[in-house]
Amino acid sequence: MTCPFGLPDGIPALGGGPDNSKRDGSGKGMGENAIEIEGVTKTYAAAGNQPPKEALAGIDLTIPRGSVFGLLGPNGAGKSTLINILAGLVVKSSGSVRIWGFDQDKNPRQSRASIGVMPQEPNIDPFFTPGALLDVQAGLYGVPKGERRTDEILAMVGLSDKKDAYARHLSGGMRRRLLLAKALVHAPPILVLDEPTAGVDIELRQMLWGQVRKLNEAGTTIILTTHYLEEAEEMCDEIAIIHHGSLLVRDTTSALLSTIDSRTLLITPDGDAPSTITAPEGVDLDRRKGGALAFTYRRAQTSPGDIIDAVRASGITIRDIAIEEAHLEDVFLTLTRAQDAEAPAA
């Protein structure tokens, strides 16, 4: 597509454009960063009886091109503040932001054109139709009339039949689809989704993640926030956790998961288990509904074999066995609680 702001080469068009960072078979991006955040702080000014609020205490973060990157953190951590700074909706107090290589302060138009943001809060004019809204948005980004993809985008988010309905007549889930459509109008190489699946039904959730995967496969860098950690675990190559406006950790999803040392071994006995079972030292036993025995152990201390031996020694015949892996939720809770214990929130 012709770009109004002189975007650099390598910006993907919707549905697969010239940027084929993932099509060269290497699977990952172009070795450059989509986003570079350095020393970014934000203090919201005092308003009414509310004192000033430091929402970001100094964030350094780089997000590689071509990745699906999860920005996680508890309520009020500063995720939306950071995303809204990237989108140009919130003005940072200090620090620097580069988007697709463009400094946000020196090249504001290019950096804005390189990013599409689906905000957490719907910002849809209720008196417009979806078709008109996308047209206005395309106009704002200078997409020439002949190159607008209104119908294609509406079809992509499943809103073709609502093109001419008033936005105020759309359901909540349809409004979220429309927000995604708006973010895609200028075919940005970076798509940011701020809690896209909060309160939406299963069908929309699957539709959203399906579209996100397709866009990513076509080269779009995806940044998302979600409180559904199983979604982040499934979708994200890399994850940053922020808490009280600071970066707690940033790593690949698999590296984060491997930091959790505890595992649970589930053993289903053949028949009723005896009331006393001697588990190896340091292993917790929890009896699950249906009779399964859940042994939680530290991998560094105990092996599953030790537990199985102990179970057999207690006279139990084993019918079934399974291991419950660590989940991102465990990593998240471990890290955020550790920080809360160190420095309780004000």
Chain positions contacting ligand ATP, by CB under 6 A: 44, 53, 55, 73, 75-81, 120
Residue number with CB closer to ligand ATP (5 or 44)? 44
SS3 call for 182: helix
CB of residue 194 to Mg ion, shortest distance in Å:
6
Residue nearest to Mg ion (CB): 80
CB 76, CB 50: distance < 8 Å:
no
CB 82, CB 60: distance < 8 Å:
no
Residue 44 contact partner, candidates ligand ATP, Mg ion, none, CB within 5 to 8 A by sort of partner: ligand ATP
Residue number with CB closer to ligand ATP (48 or 146)? 48
Judged by the rule CB under 5 A, the positions of this chain that interact with Mg ion are: 79-80, 120
Residue 76 contact partner, candidates Mg ion, ligand ATP, none, CB within 5 to 8 A by sort of partner: ligand ATP
Residue 92 contact partner, candidates ligand ATP, Mg ion, none, CB within 5 to 8 A by sort of partner: none
CB of residue 120 to ligand ATP, shortest distance in Å:
6
Residue number with CB closer to Mg ion (248 or 257)? 248
CB of residue 225 to Mg ion, shortest distance in Å:
6
Token digits of residue 94: 């200090």
58 vs 144: CA distance, rounded Å: 39
Residue number with CB closer to ligand ATP (55 or 279)? 55
Report angle CA 244, 246, 249 to the nearest 5 degrees.
115
Q: Which residues contact 232 (CB under 8 A, 6 or more apart)?
A: 70, 72, 224, 226, 239, 253, 328
DSSP per position, 257-322 = HHT--EEEEEEEESSPPPS---PPTT-EEEEPGGG-EEEEEETTT--HHHHHHHHHHTTPPEEEEE
7 vs 261: CA distance, rounded Å: 46
212 vs 192: CA distance, rounded Å: 10
CB of residue 227 to Mg ion, shortest distance in Å:
9
Residue number with CB closer to Mg ion (64 or 73)? 73
For the beta sheet containing 318-324, the strands, ordered from the edge strand earlier in sequence to the opposite edge, are 284-287, 293-298, 262-269, 318-324
Residue 53 contact partner, candidates Mg ion, ligand ATP, none, CB within 5 to 8 A by sort of partner: ligand ATP
Residue 107 contact partner, candidates Mg ion, ligand ATP, none, CB within 5 to 8 A by sort of partner: none
Helices (H), 96-156: 108-113, 130-140, 150-156
Amino acid residing at 273: A
Residue 16 contact partner, candidates ligand ATP, Mg ion, none, CB within 5 to 8 A by sort of partner: none
CB of residue 26 to Mg ion, shortest distance in Å:
33
CB of residue 270 to ligand ATP, shortest distance in Å:
46
Find the distance separating the first CA and the last CA of the chain, reported in whole Å.
49
Residue number with CB closer to ligand ATP (194 or 233)? 194
SS3 call for 225: strand
CB of residue 76 to Mg ion, shortest distance in Å:
8
Q: Let me know how long the chain is.
A: 346
Residue number with CB closer to ligand ATP (189 or 245)? 245
CB of residue 242 to ligand ATP, shortest distance in Å:
7
Residue 77 contact partner, candidates ligand ATP, Mg ion, none, CB within 5 to 8 A by sort of partner: ligand ATP
Residue number with CB closer to ligand ATP (80 or 107)? 80
